[in-house]
Chains A and B, each alone.
Chain A
Amino acid sequence: MSPARQKTGEAGPESGAALRERLRVYGERLVGGTDGVFHFPIRHHSPACALHLKRALAELRPAAIVLEMPADFEPLVPLLAHQETEPPIAIVSVIDRDSRDRFAPAVLGYWPISDSAPEWVALKAAGAIGASLHFADLPSGVRLSLHDEGEQEASAARLTPQVLTDEDAITYSNYAQALIRRVGARDFNEVWDRLFESRVDDSDWRQFFADVGRDCLLCRETTSERQMTEDGMLAREAMMRDVLAEAKAAAGGRPVAAIFGGIHTPALLDPPSDPQRRPENGQVAPSHAADRAYLVRYTEADLDLLNGYASGMPSPRHYARLLAMAETGDHAASRLATETFLDLAEALRRREGSLPPALPTLTEAVRHADALARLRELPGPGRSEILDAARSCLLKDEDLFYGSDILETLHELMTGAGVGKVPKEAGTPPLLDAARRRAEALRFSIDEPSVKTRQLDIHRKARHRAASRFAHAMALLETDFATLKRGPNLATAKGMKPVLFEVWTYAWLPSVEARLTALAATGDTLEAACVFVLREAIVALENAGRSDDSEAAVALLGDAAKAGVLAHAHDIFPHLDQALAADADFSRLVRALARLEGLWRGRRVLGLSRTAALAPLVETAYRRTLDLIPTLIDAPAAAMPADARALADLYHLTQRLTTMGGADETVPVQGQEGAAPASAPRVDRAVFEDRLRGLIAAMPQGALAGVLATIGFLSGWRSEGDVAQVVRSGLEAASLSPQERCGPLDGALAVSAVLLRRSEEVLGVVDAFLARIDEDSFISLLPALRKTLSVLDPDEVDALAARIGSLQSLPAPLDLDMPHVGESEVRDNLARSHALTGLIEARGLGHWLRDEREEEAQR
């Protein structure tokens, strides 16, 4: 039973009238200030709470202000009160999990402060009226350790920074959930908006806080005691009471303002009688401060509740604006909606490719928001009404899962893109410090911001490998510090000769520091920040409906491996498994397999020799591509060339996977010979060939037929004549388009580029065909033919030319020299050319020549 209920001494269910009376009395006690303490129950980031608090503090002029913030943040008060400090900012708190292991990720917590945070208002007011400030919560380290213990099992979640201002206790209480259902709202935030943010213009702050307090009391009374103990809430509240008592004693009878999340206020007003919950006897030590706490700049986008950080309220810019309008007394009920829609129209006008809504549509949207507010019995439209009106009036189509341009722009506007400011004295965030120290240790020259080039011998030198990982990690964090100019390409299916060196250009620009500072709240070390960015990328893929994009998933795996953080990036593997299982795009899956195989080949240099998960992943991807082979026959005609090339690639991959076994094609890596190698992926070539035969039986046409015949020929179960036959039937199908006619040859060359030179029959077919057709047919076929033959590299072209020369008994080698032109002739021609140019320019047609020249220059 709750403390308040205990006091009333009731046993049975409370009647409606009794409950109402109890709530009324509770509300009066909060703001009555009978013992000198005025209680302000708040929701973090709530503009209505902030504004009413501001008015109350100006009226009461308390001697002391007690805040819910962790006690170990108190040294940061001078920085917070600094005149250069501007929200959004955040206090980041760090504890090291293991001081011996320098790569062990730290546990992070952060306390974001927005423009509309009541705490911010209180901090400013304390300075203005000379009140003393007291931070009353347990040191942040205690909560972080609790959080860490709770998360130990879910290892992937361990690196998630914890929001110290989270309000889950209120949001998910049974009372709040019942309230949501009762008013037909979509979430707690909407209910809160209707109940309290709509009252930002009220004149009576006492009534306002009494009402907030009552609702929070009911939330607390419908939260189980077990949950409150588990969250460490009861222990924290014992500390809050102690600090409040000290502040009260020090104030000597002058007023004290107690500003706490509304869920805690009941425990401050009516302490529990049970002494077991005092922290001295409890399980946590109050002296457990964080290892570090520092102030960083924050962004409005990070503040957004919907952005996955759960740091309070959604749409921070909207609420900041509500506060600003209400503060200047400029808040006519519907003005905020009107202004927002006008901003939206302007933003859409600026945005390329968007059609801004017409004026009548905008008018309708404003009317709609207003009428919705009236239907919901609100004084004016709030956040939900604005979004609802936009959805009804501006979205002229089905509201699909992936959303619309207009609504996205509106969300961006209401979220805002603002970045806070912290004074110089706030120092360097650890992430930036760590990056700088690592760069220096790895001999990147970062003292001056000029662009430098560095070659890394990644196979033979361990230090260079470390430098490569650092550069890749910085690239993954999008710092623009380093760009890879040359290096091994893991993305291609064709066999690659091992590339020994990576060549990077890099520069330590101010923008690098800016980006690292922005990432400061995501991690204390490069590794933690990388893991965070990778997780964001996975979420972004899922949100974009691309959770089945196996190629993108493998690319992330490659990024993690190259940055050396794969061991920490646990989220990737389940995502990858899911993508590989769900991907139905054959060519994309083959590209994913090629990347995986590339990782396998480069496993030593990437430090993945002992990663047992890699070989099974290659096997899974391979099996999955085999499963999709039968579907190729039904694929749309437009996908055929890509599918055929992918099948040829799969053939090459099969060759490599079956022949290389466990052997590593890369140069042995010094210092790693002792590593126990993970066993090589095992693939079954017989199944591959079975599937191909099955496909042949379905009589494919075009490029696919060329690919299959050539693979069959090279594998020995089809003859050279079969290939020649397939190529000929394609070329001679006069009713098809030139591209389709070249399809079989295309496919054949995708499997083996040397086919024409090596196979007399195929070359004979092509040669005979070209000799037979007339000039017009040849010219119409030429573009497609050129494209087909463009897969041959220059050496192959020379060799083939020689072969054709001998076949046609031409004088060998083909004479490609220019006929001899004398000096005088060149001079005359140049003079003529100049004269012609002058003539063309004189007729105003000079741009013809220029266009051509520019194109040439670009080529």
Chain B
Amino acid sequence: MRDESCKTYLRRPAESRYEDELQRLAETDEGPRPPGWRLSPKAVRRFVLGDEKQGLSRKFYGDDALVERAIVSLMGEQGLMLVGEPGTAKSMLGELFSAAISGASDLLIQGSASTSEDAIRYGWNYAMLIAEGPSRRALVPSPVMQAMEAGQIVRMEEITRCPPEIQDSLISILSEKTITIPELGRATAVRAAPGFNVIGTANLRDRGVNEMSSAIKRRFNFETVSPIADRTFERELIEARVASRLAGQTIEPTLPADVLDVLVSAFSDLRSGRTAEGVALDKPTAVMSTAEAVNVAHSASLEAAYLADGVVTGAHMARQMAGVVLKDDEADIRKFQAYVDHVAKDRARSSKAWRDFYDVARSVGRQGEGR
């Protein structure tokens, strides 16, 4: 179907990226598999959380119990709803689960204000519909319908961005596990094969999204994915992500540990509104997620590799961070300045990386002021 080998893509689906791991797991997996599952629940757990003995990488950091709960939810009748702040790897987690459980993560609906019911139930190939009337051939199945027929997992991203009536069309599918097609006659319906389930993601705190009805909430088990609280974990994760992003390129920038520390501390301080020493800070409204930290580290590495001598410094971090954090928000600029003036300045006395960071971040602050 897909030919991944002869062409490179910006981003390959999880089942292709981790093809080796999944294959190894399938070969050694002896545990009982729920109907329709490619792997046993324990193997899915090992795939997501990693297992050194089997050479499986850890793909999700910070909350092992959440992964276990999510796997158990997917075994049952309920769908799985992953909620939380932006950038907490909700979508990645959903992709990993579908790749491990169904062997495919491509059944995906990207929710938005313009998502229509066709994306959840079915649409028609109108040329064929007009030519030969309603027939199974003229019907265009939605990702949900395909997942039901194949007994696989379908993902619905940003469910709260869809209009409520579109969200509601999921209700009967989740409870009846059936889509009827009245156009093809009374007895025609698609019934879900074992292994079918829905993973939704939603950001409940964003402004301007549609509230989920309690009827749809009842049909999902909820899991809140939180930002990573453990600094060591976060460091490991950023390092791994940056390395894998740079893997496809010919450059090899050096990211010294103390420079990475600057990034991790700054993000974690600003995110929690409190430094490791317990100084209270004003939290910026900008998203200070790990994903954003990876973006900063990645861009800083690119800058160092292409525009400097290849060694990432605190100065690179400061420049990139300004772009990510400050954007246009005046209030955030003030908060970042306060952080630089009080915390970074203090640390600059004893650390070179912080000094580089401080020197640049300070001038970034001033530009902000001059605007």
Contacts and interface: CB of A to CB of B under 8 A. Distances in A.
Interface of A: 184-186, 358, 361, 364, 367-368, 371-372, 374-376, 384, 388-389, 391-393, 395-400, 578, 581-582
A364 B221 contact: yes
Nearest to A374: B41
B217 A396 contact: yes
Contact of A184 (B49, B72, B223): B49
Contact of B72 (A371, A397, A399): A371
A116 B223 CA distance: 33
B270 to A, nearest CB: 16
B68 interface: yes
Contacts of A374: 41
A203 B83 CA distance: 44
Interface string B61-77: 00011001111110111
A376 B45 CA distance: 10
Given A396-B217, A397-B222, 4 more contacts: A364-B78, A371-B72, A393-B78, A393-B221
A391 B78 CA distance: 14
Nearest to B34: A371
B24 interface: no
Given A184-B64, A368-B72, A392 B221 contact: yes
5 contacts: A184-B64, A184-B65, A364-B78, A391-B69, A392-B221
Nearest to A393: B221
Given A372-B68, A397-B217, A392 B222 contact: yes
Contact of A582 (B65, B77, B205, B280): B280
B209 interface: no
B42 interface: yes
B150 interface: no
Contact of B280 (A372, A395, A578): A578
Q: Which 7 A-B pairs have the closest CB atoms?
A: A184-B64, A399-B224, A396-B217, A371-B72, A392-B221, A392-B69, A398-B204
B244 to A, nearest CB: 23
Contacts of B223: 392
B78 A375 contact: no
Given A375-B68, A384-B65, A388-B68, A368 B280 contact: no
A170 to B, nearest CB: 22
B224 A371 contact: no
B73 A368 contact: yes
Given A184-B65, A372-B69, A393-B78, A581 B280 contact: yes
A367 B49 contact: no
B86 to A, nearest CB: 13
B114 interface: no
Contact of A376 (B68, B73, B84): B68
B352 interface: no
B214 interface: yes
Nearest to A391: B69
B73 A392 contact: yes
A358 B218 contact: yes
A619 to B, nearest CB: 20
Contacts of B78: 364, 393
B204 A375 contact: no
A398 B73 contact: no
A376 B41 CA distance: 10
A395 B72 contact: no
A358 B73 CA distance: 17
Interface in B254-291: 280
Nearest to A186: B65
Given A375-B41, A581-B280, A396 B75 contact: no
Contacts of B218: 358, 361, 396
Contact of A371 (B64, B75, B84, B220): B75
Contacts of A185: 64-65
A420 to B, nearest CB: 33
B224 A398 contact: yes
A372 B65 CA distance: 10
Contacts of B71: 375
A428 B65 CA distance: 47
For chain B, give the interface size range. Answer: 20 to 34
Interface centre among A372, A398, A399 (most CB of B within 10 A): A398
B146 to A, nearest CB: 26
Interface in B204-244: 204-205, 214, 217-218, 220-224
A189 to B, nearest CB: 13
Contacts of B42: 375
B32 to A, nearest CB: 9
B280 A371 contact: no
Contacts of A372: 68-69, 72
Contacts of B214: 396
A392 B72 contact: yes
A851 to B, nearest CB: 37
Nearest to B42: A375
A773 B41 CA distance: 78
A364 B217 contact: no
B209 to A, nearest CB: 12
Interface in B30-51: 41-42, 45, 49
A364 B69 contact: no
Contacts of A364: 76-78, 221
A85 to B, nearest CB: 39
Contacts of A392: 69-70, 72-73, 221-223
Contacts of A368: 69, 72-73, 76, 221
Contact of B69 (A361, A388, A398, A582): A388
Given A393-B78, A393-B221, A397-B222, A375 B45 contact: yes
Contacts of A375: 41-42, 45, 68, 71-72
Interface in B56-109: 64-65, 68-73, 75-78, 83-84
A372 B280 CA distance: 39
Interface string B194-211: 000000000011000000
Interface string B161-201: 00000000000000000000000000000000000000000
Interface centre among B76, B83, B217 (most CB of A within 10 A): B76
Contacts of B65: 184-186, 384, 388
B240 to A, nearest CB: 17
Contacts of B205: 398
Nearest to B64: A184
A350 B69 CA distance: 29
Nearest to A370: B72
B281 to A, nearest CB: 10
B322 to A, nearest CB: 25
Nearest to B75: A371
A270 B204 CA distance: 59
Interface string B124-137: 00000000000000
A137 to B, nearest CB: 36
Contacts of A361: 218
A398 B75 contact: no
Nearest to A395: B222
Interface centre among A358, A364, A396, A581 (most CB of B within 10 A): A396
B324 to A, nearest CB: 24
Nearest to A396: B217
A307 B43 CA distance: 37
Nearest to B280: A582
Contacts of B220: 396
B171 to A, nearest CB: 14
A374 B32 CA distance: 11
Contacts of B77: 364
Interface centre among B69, B70, B76, B78 (most CB of A within 10 A): B69
Contacts of B64: 184-185
A356 to B, nearest CB: 13
Nearest to A397: B222
A372 B71 CA distance: 9
B37 to A, nearest CB: 13
A69 B76 CA distance: 48
A395 B21 CA distance: 34
A374 B68 CA distance: 11
